Structure 1
């Protein structure tokens, strides 16, 4: 059985080759475009901290995409950096505070951009107003555990204000625990690095016997520490009815950013960027709508995917397809592009190859016919005419059973005509031999 001049065996071989090619391409695509993990881990901070609050919001958005975001409670930014650099920690994402490290000290990490201002809040319980850091000498100050970004920043700020571990007692508590310690009189002041929405900050802002320190020298601190910015907490912005705060408060703040390992799956990076926009893109006390996240980071290189996302937004697939479908769509597109890249040249060369194969089949029998003709010419009248006749019959019979496409019909008939010519050359010798035998 033949189809378009091709035998069943040829078609079967072609089908097997095609299946093998598709399998190889599928394996390669699975390697180049791997399936995203169903669970990732982010390093946050202690309870009540901004990073803990951010992590909870991120987890909700990841759950909507059917990805489990596991929150790893840590001491803060410095521990997050340590976990990110340890490939066995299982932490692929982490919140960090600006100024605590940089790419030279923590290589192999990429930033997805700044996500928020982190004001430096100093709350105290005292009837006397405190507006200079030096007034905290001799006080018990909650500055966060050793290794946290809060403590790192607090120590830098306090030292510039004339306060150190020698002149004050620095307690290793932070977040909700620090707020509770201030309420219970276990500490005199609390140093918090966090967003105004964090639970610790909100509870302290609304506590009737707790005051928020004003930074009249905020501008000076921003000149000393380039990573800091000056912010103003407007009067009544927390609670207009209760007039919290009762007056404008000058604050200093750093920025926070999201760092990822360079091997984090691109689809998870895209989901993370979309989540960052949804969580941090809204207006707040200190920023306008769309001000965050920002594609900038003074400490770490910003990932190319993040730069493209901030410039062009999510890709077409990410806008209209669920997360689990984007990888399959990417593979299908890659397979289609590969097929086109291979198919277009193939459409040009396959007809030429096919013609060459058909021509080779014709040339084979022309070769057989030419060999027979030479043998007839060299054998003379006494040659083995029966053998020549049998060979010619074999060639003619074989050619008559060869199936060629209609486009090659003229060449097939030419071959059959040449067979007839050779047979005519053989006839005189056959007649001579028959006359000799008759006499």
Structure 2
């Protein structure tokens, strides 16, 4: 009978039973071949790992790999399976989350562009709570130039380049509208009265 303390490492239990199996594999005067080690007729409780070994024998990894490699890989698999069950949902969440983050980088300049366009579209706007204050065209053109420079520094993956080019196009369109309005204002003949 092999007796150990309760805190013996499970890998050592497998190693002890494999060694006992190889030592007592041959038939002796009082026993048959392969009769020992056995889980029968024990006076002490059987360890769970020893019971597993008696039911299944050494694991596949222990039969084909050296003991240290089989034990390491077996323990890693025990830890990896729960991690994989957590990782699979995370892998499904990651692409939409990444796309949202990239679109957020592009939408921030769009908000600024909308504010500039709205402030320049109605020169009668007064500074009041909840409304964008009106701004003159020169200030709007300066803010558009600064916005354009910040957009030039944006780095996005190739799949989002179309969104970035659309943003640049809209900035240019607002700039052209402001310049055309400025040109039309300067081309008007002075009022004579």
Same fold at TM > 0.5: yes
Kept after mapping to 2: 8 A contact 1:296/1:302: no
What stretches of structure 1 of length at least 5 have no aligned partner?
1-256
Bigger CA radius of gyration: 1
Report whether the alignment pairs 1:320 with 2:72: no
Report whether the alignment pairs 1:269 with 2:13: yes
Equivalent in 370, 385, 400 of residue 152 of structure 2: 400
Which is richer in helix?
2
CA distance in 1, matches of 2:96, 2:73: 34
Shift of 1:332: 4.5
Equivalent in 291, 300, 320 of residue 35 of structure 2: 291
Runs of 4+ in 1 over 6 A off after TM superposition: none
CA distance in 1, matches of 2:53, 2:21: 10
Shift of 1:341: 4.0
Shift of 1:294: 1.8
Which is richer in strand?
1
CA distance in 2, matches of 1:335, 1:379: 66
User: Aligned residue for 2:89?
Assistant: 345
- 1:127-166 equivalences under 5 Å are none
CA distance in 2, matches of 1:295, 1:385: 92
Equivalenced residues, count: 182
User: Aligned residue for 2:129?
Assistant: none
Equivalent in 162, 171, 184 of residue 410 of structure 1: 162
SS in 1 for 2:2: strand
Q: Do the aligned partners of residues 271 and 411 (structure 1) sit closer, same or farther apart at CA in structure 2, a change above 3 Å counting?
A: same
- 1:25-424 equivalences under 5 Å are 257-334=1-78, 337=81, 340-341=84-85, 343-380=87-124, 383-424=135-176
CA deviations on 1:201-233 (whole Å, 9 max, x unpaired) are: xxxxxxxxxxxxxxxxxxxxxxxxxxxxxxxxx
CA distance in 2, matches of 1:406, 1:322: 48
TM-score, with structure 2 as normaliser: 0.76
Tell me which of the two structures has the higher relative contact order, counting C-alpha pairs closer than 8 angstroms and 6 or more residues apart.
1
CA deviations on 1:42-90 (whole Å, 9 max, x unpaired) are: xxxxxxxxxxxxxxxxxxxxxxxxxxxxxxxxxxxxxxxxxxxxxxxxx
